Amino acid sequence: MQEMVKEISNRKLLVSGMAETLIGSEIIRLAGEINEKIKNGEKIYNLTIGDFDPEIFPIPKELENEIIKAYKEKQTNYPPANGIAELRKAVSHFLNEREGLNYSPEEILIAAGARPLIYTIFQTIVQPDEKVIFPVPSWNNNHYTHLSHAQKIEIKTLAENNFMPAAGDIKPYIKEASLISLCSPLNPTGTAFSEKALADICDIIVEENNRRKENEKPLYLLYDQIYWVLTYGSTKHFDPVSLNPEMRDYTIFVDGMSKAFSATGVRVGWSFGPQRVVDKMKSILSHLGAWAPKAEQVAAAKYLEQKQNVDSYLFNFKNEISKRLNAFYDGFMKLKNEGFKVDAIAPQAAIYLTVQFNLHGMKKENGEVLHDTKETTKYILKEAKVAIVPFYAFGDSAGSAWYRLSVGTCKLEEVEGIIESLRSALKKLES
């Protein structure tokens, strides 16, 4: 970040150097452009935003009823800074029952979704100019590092490893870092750590912390598992503390209801980890005021204890998401087998499919060449009416031909038409 500030130092700053050099969310910008086209009457299949269409994927009815009831009961004043006790107890029980993780209510912090929690973790752990390790592509780590005046160490990941980082990728830089930020299942790829891959990373984190002296700050792991309940087929979710109990002192989890219960707008998230860290996060959050609304907290506490209703919702929800992911994957494999320059990684988790359009250098009907990913993205949008997010929006290189396809706003019966639209657009290209 300092280098960027120096670049603009020759002209007068009207805002801080951090703000002047901050890049807005490419995903939100792209989604905004697509929504504007749709408002203007264009028929576009919008597979960009990591959100849900409530008409297709509503929140659980029981949760909705509890939210309405809480508002009628006038639960509209300030909640406690760390979340109401009832919700922290419910989350503690939920984690224990479903993941075997034992965290007391005092080790849990409630906030308005994952974003303020991630920001608070960065602010709690990372001092200016300290280094943060994270893989690319990944969601917003580059921006949170920038907001923290820190330095980034980006680990370039590869398709053959499902875009998941390995211990060997991280180890050369581990002595320099104060925080490692990982996500599994991963946004944007919809892939997840294998047990061995995550265990190996835990081993090198523990090894590094054993090397550091008692008066040195530990190396912490931010572990974002907001999609953890959404795994499919043989994919299993693994967490650092269950694999290596020594990681309990160094792991700060990010979790919540946003993705697991199609509740992105309900804004109930939670973090848990070492109490000394969670207490400091609570202090920072108390100044931000980024609390989950009290009525939603009251409702979430009551809903999470309804085991049968939760199980029923998750079963149906996961089944519907899985159908869409598999339908898109099958469609891309058909296109690939037909000779088109596309590919995809078999769905594992979350609401995303990793797809590839390797169209650089191909010619359109008018003879114009698709020189780069931006031109490819525009072509897919214009000719196929399909909007997806290129991996460079997640910190990957500008030349990457890989994309995130999100199914949260897609009807199952639309998938076949989307594949056919892509087929028609691809047929128009020549090598």
- Domain residue ranges in the chain: 2-57+311-427, 61-306
Question: Quick one: which H or E segment has residue 198?
Answer: helix 195-211
> What is residue 33's predicted lDDT score, i.e. its pLDDT?
83
Provide, rounded to the nearest whole percent, the portion of the chain with pLDDT above 90. Answer: 89
pLDDT digits (tens, 9 = 90+) for 63-88: 999 999 999 999 999 999 999 999 99
Q: Which of 261, 250, 296, 216 is nearest to 121 (CA)?
A: 250
> What is residue 266's predicted lDDT score, i.e. its pLDDT?
98
Residue 12 has pLDDT above 80, yes or no: no
> What is residue 210's predicted lDDT score, i.e. its pLDDT?
96
Q: pTM for this structure?
A: 0.94
* Helix (H), strand (E) counts: the chain: 15, 13
Concatenating the DSSP letter of every residue in 357-397 gives E--TT-B-TTS-B--SHHHHHHHIIIII-EE-EEGGGGT--
**CA-to-CA distance for 97 and 88, rounded, in angstroms?**
14
Please provide the average confidence, as pLDDT, over all residues in the chain.
95
> What is residue 38's predicted lDDT score, i.e. its pLDDT?
86
∠ CA 343-357-230, nearest 5°, is 55
**What is the CATH number that goes with domain 2-57+311-427?**
3.90.1150.10
Q: How confident is the model at residue 6 (pLDDT cuts 50, 70, 90)?
A: low
> What is residue 3's predicted lDDT score, i.e. its pLDDT?
54
For the chain, how far is it from start to end, CA to CA, in angstroms?
Answer: 41
The residue-averaged pLDDT of 263-286 equals 97
pLDDT digits (tens, 9 = 90+) for 278-327: 999 999 999 999 999 999 999 999 999 999 999 999 999 999 999 999 99
| Residue found by looking up tokens 């939603």 in the block | 296
> What is residue 30's predicted lDDT score, i.e. its pLDDT?
81
**Total residues found in the chain within this entry:** 431
User: What is the topology classification, in CATH, of domain 61-306?
Assistant: Aspartate Aminotransferase; domain 2 (3.40.640)
pLDDT digits (tens, 9 = 90+) for 35-53: 888 888 889 999 998 999 9
Residue 2 has pLDDT above 80, yes or no: no
pLDDT digits (tens, 9 = 90+) for 195-244: 999 999 999 999 999 999 888 999 999 999 999 999 999 999 999 999 99
The residue-averaged pLDDT of 361-385 equals 93
> What is residue 237's predicted lDDT score, i.e. its pLDDT?
98
> What is residue 431's predicted lDDT score, i.e. its pLDDT?
84
